A and B are shown apart, each in its own frame.
Chain A
Amino acid sequence: MKKENLWKTTLAQIQIDISEANFNTWFKGTSISALNNKKAVIGVPNAFAKEWIENKYHKIILKALKKLDKDIKEVDYAVISNPLAISEEKKKVKKNNREKASTASQMEFQELSVDRETGLNPKYSFNNFIIGPFNELAHAAGTAITESPGSIYNPLFLYSKTGLGKTHLLQAMGNKIKDSVDGKKVLYIPAQKFISEIISAIRGNKMDDFRRQYRDIDVLIIDDIQFLSGKEKTQEEFFHTFNDLYEKNKQIILSSDRHPKSIASLTDRLRSRFEGGMLADIGTPDIETRSAILKTKAQEKNFFLPDDVCYYIAENVQRSIRELEGILNKLIIHHQVTKKNIDINIVKSFLKNISQSSFSSFTFDKLLKTVASFYDTSEKEIMGSSRKREIVKSRQVIIYFLRKELNYSYPYIAKKIGGKDHTTIIYSYSKM
């Protein structure tokens, strides 16, 4: 007989012998936690139950168990924290929900939900990862790796624009591998954290500890690897770690917001290593996928989203999944505060504000900064009159975007970019 059934039958017999109140108090949440030929270990929820059952009911339990399974000669008891206790706590939590509504925009410590050893957040899993044509390849590569880490695509390099599910996929892979039977050691670390760890290791003269810590990992996942750009010492250290793990056939998974070729100031040896494994690109989701994602997210948050509203949002918010989630959160807060049902007009007014704000975030200053850092020149040089090839090129890129995205007039661009003639600008624009 299976131990679950054995215990159920035993309980049914014990129930006859003792009062209902006693039975409910002491036997709720008990189970057989181990059963090997002669000895049964009964798991009890707390130390009180252990003392009581051991002292008062031992004989009854032993007798009942022996009747059902002749092999059992011995019964032992152990305290096992059981899921039941947690569900009781949850009941109490429900009372606090009133308070929750008022703290909807209150930020939380993200670190608390993160697993201590692996740095993974258990909320990310393959179950809530939605697959569409845009991420099929990445997802397929990801699942293949979770089945046999280190042997097929190594390293896996995922790249996509921000907010399209890289981190989700990365963490889901980590969680899946961690939970698999053979207990592989997984470490997930955002590149910024990796960099700051290196810096503090150098400062504290603890480089050896640092290296050791990374070299007995089975699966190393680094998110947003583009942040290594321009950090030479970190790149060197990462290079050694990478080689070490790679030689031992350990799985390495990386993500970035762009193709390795486009990461500025990355040493060639690293770039070629990144390109040596599997490169998978996540594109932008199509409208069906976007609306499916929105539906799932709403369901996770126990929020009812009418179909037309869902479709309308999916139709109008195209850039990223994170943006979809942001709008959903806004709608939820709106619903909680006003207690009104969400209809398409509310969504329309929300989207109006949002599309304006995301437009205004693209400014001349930002553009200048981004382009300057990409081409490794200074803002001053671009604004100046140098005619060096690289600088002219970056200047032309800026002019192109100013015209195309911000709809600036040619003379205005000329003024902005350091008092050039507007014909120069027209020429530059046509060059691109």
Chain B
Amino acid sequence: MNIVLLQNKLKEGLGIIGRGTSKSTSLPILKNILFNVKDDFLNISATDLEIAIKWWTLVKSGKDGSITVPYNSLSSFVNLLPDKKINLNVENNNLFIDCEDYKTQINSISADEFPIIPIVKEKEKVKINSNMLCDSLLQIIDIPSLSKVKPEISGVLFFFNKGELKLVATDSYRLAEKKVFIKNQTTGSFSFIIPQRTAREVVNIFKDFSKDIDIVFGDNQILFKVKMDDFDQSQIELTSKIIEGNYPNYEAIIPKEYKTQIVLDREEFLNKVKAASVFTSKVNEVNLEFSPEQGEVVIKSSNNDLGNYTAKTSGRAEGEEVKISFNYRFLLDGLLSTKSSEIIFEVSDESSPGVIKPVGRSDFLYVVMPIKN
């Protein structure tokens, strides 16, 4: 292998695939990344056997070939080089890096030792704008948790139906559903669950692109990829396992009706709940008293050691008086991911879930269970 490319370009690629390397010591090869040169394209890959990230760029190539090198050392070294031409050359299983006055040799491991990244056999394929996908994922990504025996809900559900994609996440205390409209219609409806970590990496890698992402869904595996601008060649591919099993029937959780509804200013309500959080006790409990006649919600919290807190916020309301308590962290999460200046808050009674939605759009929904008194 013998190629020439700019430092800046290499730095970009290493930055993207770095998150795919493994920190675990059980299989040292996973700390390495794979360089592969073929037909003037350089491909760098990293994997930890759960996800795999691949990145391509055009290079001036003298000789095809492949090699694996330790990611950490290579990456820190390349970052220190000037933004000039770099020559990468493989001889006797060693990688020689020349850039202006810098000359290095890195001991490497043969490419044969590197895990084979599975090719996803296409069952379904959808195109979606990367900004839209990443923004939507950000609204729900922090919700899933591993604190459950059910592995299905530790991931994010992707549910495609005609021209719509629903993203769903829950940790059994709260649930968020985000709808995204997609350009090309899928033939039927299908769904899969991706691990929370994969969703995070999708956001990290693709959030700065405003291109279309192809999502390819196959057996056991899912592939996210963006193509290069001028070639029919992938620029970045992220392959991940998907979580086996059926997502629970989450629609049964979403309340169909409510007793009391109030429309509130989001910022104001958010601040008052935040202030209440200072005075909460161990269970993070914030009490809300909905009084539709006065058109207001009273927010209360108290802590035996510290004191207590009361605040009011007013809005347009209808229904009956309801007293209900929530974990303030769950409330804040819901309010922060509802992207509108005013929010709708619906409740029924002290032991039924509350619903937070944006005003004027129906693409987001946050359901949260109360704290029992």
Interface residues of A (CB under 8 A from B): 21-22, 24-25, 46-52, 55, 79, 81, 85-86, 89-90, 92-93, 96-97, 99-100, 102-109, 111-114, 116, 337
Contact = CB atoms under 8 A, between A and B. Distances in A.
Q: How large is the interface on B (under 10, 10 to 19, 20 to 34, 35 or more residues)?
A: 35 or more
Interface in B50-69: 50, 52
A106 B369 contact: yes
Contact of A107 (B52, B117, B370): B370
B28 interface: yes
Contacts of A109: 170, 172-173, 175, 253, 353, 369
A184 B353 CA distance: 34
A116 B220 CA distance: 21
Interface in B353-373: 353, 369-373
A107 B371 contact: yes
> Which of B117, B219, B244, B245 is most buried by chain A, counting CB atoms within 10 A of its CB?
B244
Contact of B49 (A48, A79, A103, A105): A48
A100 B250 CA distance: 22
B49 A25 contact: yes
A392 to B, nearest CB: 36
Contact of B220 (A46, A102, A106): A46
Contacts of A105: 283, 371-373
A51 B116 contact: yes
8 contacts: A46-B241, A48-B47, A79-B219, A97-B147, A106-B327, A107-B173, A113-B150, A113-B248
B115 to A, nearest CB: 6
A105 B221 CA distance: 38
A164 to B, nearest CB: 22
Contacts of A96: 145-147
Interface in B178-214: none
B258 to A, nearest CB: 15
Nearest to A47: B118
A108 B49 contact: no
A179 to B, nearest CB: 17
B27 A51 contact: no
Interface string B139-176: 00000011111110110000000000000001011010
A51 B153 CA distance: 27
A52 B118 CA distance: 9
A51 B118 contact: yes
Contacts of B373: 105
B147 A100 contact: yes
Given A48-B49, A50-B118, A111-B252, A106 B154 contact: no
Nearest to B351: A107
Contacts of A112: 150, 153, 170, 172, 248, 250, 253
B284 interface: yes
A52 B116 contact: yes
A113 B116 CA distance: 37
B147 A93 contact: yes
Interface string B235-252: 000000100111011101
B123 interface: no
Nearest to A97: B147
Contacts of B118: 47-48, 50-51
Contacts of A100: 147
Nearest to B243: A81
Given A22-B27, A105-B371, A107-B370, A47 B248 contact: no
Contacts of B249: 111, 114, 116
Given A111-B248, A116-B249, A99 B282 contact: no
Given A111-B252, A112-B170, A106 B371 contact: yes
B240 to A, nearest CB: 10
B26 interface: yes
B149 A104 contact: no
